[in-house]
Structure 1
Amino acid sequence: MDALQQHLFDSYRAAQRGESAPPAPGTHDVAVLRELRDHRRFERVVAGRPATGRLRTALSRLLARLSGGRTPGGPVRPS
């Protein structure tokens, strides 16, 4: 039984009992991913490592290189 079939079964059972239907599958996925990200950031801070992401740093360096040394909102770097 996949998630959709289980949801339909639970919705039918809730309707028979006069209860509210359960949330659809995938409704809270984004919230769970955000909580996981926040928890990982918290663990990094507790371990004494910087909480900034490596991906964001790498992308900002790439953007600075592609824009000719200029960073968004930052000073102009000499070439």
Structure 2
Amino acid sequence: MSSTQQYLLDTYRAQWLGEAPPPPPGTHDWQTASELRDYRQFRAVVAEHPAHGRLRRVLGRWLHPRACSAC
């Protein structure tokens, strides 16, 4: 059963029971992806894993600033 078919079935069931219909499929995809990313970052911090990607570059710039030749 596809997600669209399941949504239609749930909508019909909610209407039959007088309840509010469920949100359509894909409504909360971005929120879910964001929460998953935040959870993975949290787990990395708890496990004391080193930072990667953009976070590592930012931390590197803060911890090891290059000497400014024009200063």
Instruction: Name the TM tier (shorter chain).
Output: 0.5 to 0.7
Aligned-residue offset at 1:29: 1.2
Report the aligned-residue RMSD.
Answer: 2.5
Contiguous gaps of at least 5 residues in structure 2: 59-65
Aligned-residue offset at 1:37: 0.6
1:45 aligns with 2:53: no
Any idea what the Cα deviations from partners look like across 1:9-48, whole Å, max 9, x if unmatched?
1111111111110111111111111111111111111122
1:7 aligns with 2:4: no
1:22 alignment counterpart: 22
Helix, strand or coil at the partner of 2:31: helix
Partner Cα distance (1:23, 1:53) in 2: 35
Matched length: 61
TM-score by length of 1: 0.61
Aligned-residue offset at 1:49: 2.6
TM-score by length of 2: 0.66
Partner Cα distance (1:26, 1:46) in 2: 31
Contiguous gaps of at least 5 residues in structure 1: 61-74
Structure 1 consecutive aligned stretches of length 4 or more whose deviation exceeds 4 Å: none
Partner Cα distance (2:46, 2:10) in 1: 41
